[in-house]
Chain A
Amino acid sequence: MSILVIAEHDNGSLKAATLNTVTAAQKIGGDIHVLVAGHNAAAAAQAAAQIAGVAKVLLADAAHLGHQLAENVTPVVVELARGYSHVLAPATTHGKNLLPRVAALLDVAQISDVIAVESADTFVRPIYAGNVIATVQSSDAIKLMTVRTTAFDAAATGGSATVESIGAGSDAGKSSFVSQELTKSSRPELGAAKIIVSGGRALASSEQFHGVLEPLADKLGAAIGASRAAVDAGYAPNDYQVGQTGKIVAPQLYLAVGISGAIQHLAGMKDSKVIVAINKDEEAPIFQVADYGLVADLFTAVPELIAELNK
């Protein structure tokens, strides 16, 4: 068996999600190759070559792959995929955008959001916002899957695989990149953070969302997350959303501040090691999953918490 892992990268650097996906590949077992498709992406390819357990890195480097548009990356992956038993991508927005397009052209099913590998053809994945865990078996010749990164540890580094250049195909000519607006933050990435401070509708304005939560996040070295209600209301940017249809996180500590605990929110954070909830409603469902619950008004409790941590 040989496994192709699609790297998550921004040309200049490799994203941590790739490391978790390599670990999932190791659970399947076999030769692991990593595809880096991008433009001027040698640095990302070099980083991929250093992942322990990776046998080879394939680099498809061309201008039309620079923004990793699914229309242009898909033919590269389809061409390669026929030589592999499994193709894995992290279940990031990039992996989710790309892999089903590949699957359809290979005429195989895709298994989304794999959280455990039972065998080379049997995988475990959550459905219904994580309220049900399904074990599914694939009889397709090539198994395509996206991997939930929080379910697998990051692979170690220290490897020294070779980097091989491969054909990059041509521009499909159907789509082009216009612009991007990335949220700037000096805080850790949500997916990789050890501590997350997350705010809900109760913050009531963008000013208060940032004004109340940022000092606490700074104190704890935490990333900031949000409920859908807080994002919809414009208190926080879209990429802060934690939940069934946002980001899935599993930090050491998740602090839910003024979040009620709807099933869609719990789906994104209930595998956190320790959950703290601050909510003024003692009946709020978030308390059913919280290890430590504090029934309090967040506008007094959060400043008090910062003061206590400063002691």
Chain B
Amino acid sequence: MKILVAVKRVVDYNVKVRCKTDGSDVDVANVKMSMNPFDEIAVEEAVRLKEAGKASEIVVASLGVKQCEETLRTALAMGADRAIHVETDTELQPLAVAKLLKALADKEQPQLVILGKQAIDDDANQTGQMLAALMNAPQGTFASKVELAGDKVNVTREIDGGLETVSLSLPAIVTTDLRLNEPRYVKLPNIMAAKKKPLDKTTPAELGVDAAPRLKTLKVAEPPVRKAGIKVASVAELVAKLKNEAKVI
């Protein structure tokens, strides 16, 4: 069984981004970039399925600028077999990404596509669901457990009230939540070996997809900062403040 995993290159989760002074966009020049943490979980899940003998091949795809190659190499070092880079400098929004992944899925015919539930830059939480729609496939979003069972996959989902398990016929789309697994630490020999794994290139034009953005960002701004509070010296003072000053209890 073949698994397709999508990985996005994003600003590292430890970086607090700033806006450009003209408010046109976020300033990402010279900040540390990493694989979206949810996508690391997606790669890890695919690798575990392969290690368990349930998957035969893992294809990993990334879409965007040249440097996405680094993200793909990381995924290869984690255990993916080969990579596809859809290279473009256009701003890619979730619908375009879903269309591009659909085009890749048409070629690769994976039985399972695993994506992160959201990217920590645009926080959209859309791509997996959109891809599922375009593939006319079922979706197991926000997964904390994935179990292959014959021609079905059982996915336990983190929902607002707790957990829900659904059974999906394959091919299916899974999006990962934080509790699905803990991604492995990549070792140096694997990084070296990953350099020799195949990495193919294509473009939105070659895939016949119009990837132009649909939403226009008019401006970005930093939110108002909360004004600094005070330190209280004792529990008694805290309760007095909450009762008499803040009046919330």
Please report A residues at the B interface, Cβ cutoff 8 Å. 67, 69-71, 74, 92-94, 96-105, 107-113, 122, 126-140, 172-183, 191, 195, 220, 228, 231-232, 237-239, 241, 244-245, 247, 252-253, 263-264, 270, 273-276, 282, 287-296, 301, 304-305, 308-309
Report B140-163 CB contacts with A as 1/0, cut-off 8 Å. 011010000000001001111111
Across the interface, which residues of A come within 8 angstroms of B184, CB to CB? none
A129 touches B95 (CB 8 A): no
Across the interface, which residues of A come within 8 angstroms of B166, CB to CB? 69, 175-178
B130 touches A238 (CB 8 A): no
Across the interface, which residues of B come within 8 angstroms of A293, CB to CB? 229-232
Known: A108-B214, A110-B94, A133-B221. A245 touches B235 (CB 8 A): no
Determine, out of B54-62, B73-81, B114-122, B192-200, the stretch whose residues face the partner at the interface: B114-122
Least Cβ–Cβ distance between A116 and chain B, in angstroms: 12
Across the interface, which residues of B come within 8 angstroms of A177, CB to CB? 164-167
Shortest Cβ distance from A302 into B: residue: B235
A239 touches B231 (CB 8 A): no
Across the interface, which residues of A come within 8 angstroms of B133, CB to CB? 74, 100-105
- Is chain A's binding surface mostly helix, strand, loop or mixed? mixed
B130 touches A103 (CB 8 A): yes
Across the interface, which residues of A come within 8 angstroms of B26, CB to CB? 127-128, 132
A-B CB pair tally, cutoff 8 Å: 253
A132 touches B222 (CB 8 A): yes
Answer whether residue B209 sits at the interface, using C-beta atoms and an 8 A cutoff: no
Across the interface, which residues of A come within 8 angstroms of B154, CB to CB? 178
Across the interface, which residues of B come within 8 angstroms of A296, CB to CB? 235
A253 touches B162 (CB 8 A): no
Shortest Cβ distance from B133 into A: residue: A104
Query: How far, in angstroms, from A94 to B159 measured CA to CA in the complex?
Result: 8
Query: How far, in angstroms, from A274 to B133 measured CA to CA in the complex?
Result: 42
A104 touches B164 (CB 8 A): no
6 further interface pairs, Cβ-Cβ under 8 Å (given A93-B142, A135-B217, A180-B161): A122-B218, A132-B221, A172-B138, A174-B168, A191-B160, A253-B242
B163 touches A180 (CB 8 A): yes
Query: How far, in angstroms, from A124 to B65 measured CA to CA in the complex?
Result: 27
Across the interface, which residues of B come within 8 angstroms of A104, CB to CB? 95, 98, 129-131, 133-134
B226 touches A289 (CB 8 A): yes
Partner of B167, one of A178, A274, A291: A178
Shortest Cβ distance from B223 into A: residue: A133
Answer whether residue B228 sits at the interface, using C-beta atoms and an 8 A cutoff: yes
A97 touches B141 (CB 8 A): yes
Answer whether residue B107 sits at the interface, using C-beta atoms and an 8 A cutoff: no
Query: How far, in angstroms, from A290 to B242 measured CA to CA in the complex?
Result: 13
Answer whether residue B178 sits at the interface, using C-beta atoms and an 8 A cutoff: yes
Query: How far, in angstroms, from A100 to B131 measured CA to CA in the complex?
Result: 9
| Chain B contacts with A in 87-141, Cβ cutoff 8 A | 93-95, 98, 117-118, 120-134, 137-139, 141
A274 touches B130 (CB 8 A): no
Across the interface, which residues of B come within 8 angstroms of A245, CB to CB? 38, 117-118, 120, 177-178
19 A-B residue contacts at CB 8 Å? A69-B166, A93-B158, A101-B133, A109-B95, A109-B215, A112-B124, A112-B125, A122-B218, A132-B17, A137-B216, A175-B167, A175-B169, A180-B165, A220-B249, A245-B178, A276-B242, A292-B241, A293-B231, A295-B231
Across the interface, which residues of A come within 8 angstroms of B94, CB to CB? 100, 109-110
Query: How far, in angstroms, from A308 to B130 measured CA to CA in the complex?
Result: 52
Query: How far, in angstroms, from A150 to B235 measured CA to CA in the complex?
Result: 29
B158 touches A238 (CB 8 A): yes
Shortest Cβ distance from B243 into A: residue: A309
A138 touches B214 (CB 8 A): yes
A174 touches B215 (CB 8 A): no
Partner of B130, one of A100, A135, A304: A100
A103 touches B17 (CB 8 A): no
Answer whether residue B238 sits at the interface, using C-beta atoms and an 8 A cutoff: yes
Answer whether residue B1 sits at the interface, using C-beta atoms and an 8 A cutoff: no
Answer whether residue B86 sits at the interface, using C-beta atoms and an 8 A cutoff: no
Across the interface, which residues of A come within 8 angstroms of B218, CB to CB? 122, 135-137
Answer whether residue B187 sits at the interface, using C-beta atoms and an 8 A cutoff: no
Shortest Cβ distance from B118 into A: residue: A245
Known: A238-B162, A292-B229. A97 touches B142 (CB 8 A): yes
Across the interface, which residues of A come within 8 angstroms of B132, CB to CB? 70, 101
B232 touches A292 (CB 8 A): yes
Partner of A239, one of B130, B161, B217, B221: B161
Across the interface, which residues of B come within 8 angstroms of A99, CB to CB? 129
Across the interface, which residues of B come within 8 angstroms of A239, CB to CB? 158-162
